[in-house]
């Protein structure tokens, strides 16, 4: 094991020492650390999107700390160690890449992807100790962000033939779902409106898949773009010595159009 990795493991063990460790670290468990795992993963993504490699190095370290933290807790409880975590992922990488570490040959990316999915399916069967898989959708964590969970489930279904063969029908389906949202809104039935909004979002994820766009990242970028444009509006209003609440919507829309031009990225 690399010296720095061993040092990190020793530091974590010291922080978790029940008598001489840090009180905060000692009282943590798997559940209390869940928000930090998610937060650190998103901060890694943020550093990548900003192309800040110095920050990325630090954020990857923070994410690695979460792996070490959970492994230390597991070791204390007699479940597994960091070494076993490393061994497991090494085994998985070798198993899922027979074209690299064995003599398998795939004619194209489609065959390679199919073999990858089959390997994952076999792993789930082994993990659950069952001889028949209940559903090809088994194993998608329900705790994933909604867009990511939706995308993964749709990909699973698509791998077994349940998918449109081209993008054109998906555009039609988006329009169909949008029309149904409007019908639900006209009915005034809030439960129905929620259901149709969900269907619209689901088919939007499907459209993103067919256009080879990650819906989670796409929405993140659009939200960031909205925020930048809104900040522009705030700046213009503040420069006029007024408050947003005292401006007409038409004026705010004008500033929004200005922001679209002023903040348009150079291509």
**pLDDT tens digit sequence for 193-238:** 999 999 999 999 999 999 999 998 899 889 999 999 999 999 999 9
Q: How far apart are CA 81 and CA 194, in angstroms?
A: 45
Half-sphere exposure of 121 (CA within 13 A, CB side): 17
Q: How confident is the model at residue 145 (pLDDT cuts 50, 70, 90)?
A: confident
Q: Note the Cα 83 to chain centre separation in Å.
A: 26
pLDDT at 133 (0 to 100): 56
End-to-end CA distance of the chain: 45
Q: Tell me the pTM.
A: 0.63
pLDDT at 87 (0 to 100): 95
Note the pLDDT tens digit of each residue in 117-143.
777 777 766 766 654 557 878 778 887
106 by DSSP, 3-state: which?
A: coil
Whether 248 and 183 have beta carbons less than 8 Å apart is answered as: no
Reading the block at residue 250, the tokens are 């038409």
Q: How confident is the model at residue 2 (pLDDT cuts 50, 70, 90)?
A: low
Q: Is 140 exposed, middle or buried (0-12, 13-18, 19+ CB in 10 A)?
A: middle
- Spatial CB neighbours of 236, under 8 Å, sequence gap ≥ 6: 255, 258
């Amino acid at each position: 094991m690399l010296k720095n990795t061993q040092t990190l493991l020793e530091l974590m063990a010291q922080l978790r020492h029940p008598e001489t460790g840090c009180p905060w670290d000692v009282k943590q468990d798997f559940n209390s650390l869940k928000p930090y795992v998610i937060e650190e993963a998103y901060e890694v993504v943020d550093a990548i999107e900003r192309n800040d490699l110095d920050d990325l190095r630090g954020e990857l370290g923070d994410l690695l700390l979460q792996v070490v933290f959970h492994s230390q807790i597991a070791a204390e409880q007699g479940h597994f160690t960091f070494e076993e975590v490393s061994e497991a992922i090494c085994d998985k990488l070798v198993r899922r890449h027979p074209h690299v570490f064995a003599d398998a040959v795939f004619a194209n990316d489609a065959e390679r992807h199919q073999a990858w999915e089959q390997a994952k399916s076999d792993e789930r069967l082994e993990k659950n100790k069952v001889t028949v898989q209940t559903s090809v959708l088994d194993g998608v964590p329900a705790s994933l962000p909604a867009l990511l969970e939706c995308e993964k489930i749709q990909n699973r279904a698509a791998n077994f033939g349940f998918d449109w063969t081209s993008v054109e029908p998906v555009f039609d389906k988006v329009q169909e779902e949008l029309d149904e949202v409007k019908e639900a809104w006209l009915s005034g039935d809030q439960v129905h409106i929620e259901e149709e909004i969900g269907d619209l979002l689901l088919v939007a994820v499907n459209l993103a898949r067919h256009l080879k766009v990650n819906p989670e990242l796409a929405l993140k970028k659009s939200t960031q773009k909205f925020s930048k444009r809104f900040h522009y509006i705030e700046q213009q209003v503040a420069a006029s010595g007024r408050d947003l609440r005292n401006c007409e919507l038409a004026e705010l829309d004008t500033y929004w159009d200005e922001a679209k031009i002023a903040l348009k990225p150079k291509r």
